[in-house]
Amino acid sequence: MLALFDDIQQMVWEKLIMNVAFSGSSCATGLTIGAILADPDAWSVARGCAEEALAVASAAGVTLDVGDPIEHVRRLGGKIGGAKPSMLLDFEAGRRLEIDFINGAIPRVGREVGVPAPVNETVTALVKAL
- Distance from C-alpha of 23 to C-alpha of 78, rounded to nearest angstrom: 15
User: Which domains does the chain show, CATH number per domain?
Assistant: 8-129 (1.10.1040.10)
Contact assessment for residue 62 and residue 9, using Cβ atoms and an 8 Å cutoff: yes
Name the catalytic one among 15, 79, 84, 128. Answer: 15
Q: How many other CB atoms are there within 10 angstroms of residue 58's CB atom?
A: 15
15 is an active site residue: yes
Largest CA distance in the chain: 40
Query: Which amino acid, one-letter code, is at 28?
Result: A
Task: Per residue of the chain (130 residues), give pLDDT as tens.
Answer: 445 546 566 667 778 888 999 999 999 999 999 999 999 999 999 999 999 999 999 999 988 877 788 888 899 888 988 999 999 999 999 999 999 999 999 999 999 999 999 999 999 999 999 8
Which pTM value belongs to this model? 0.89
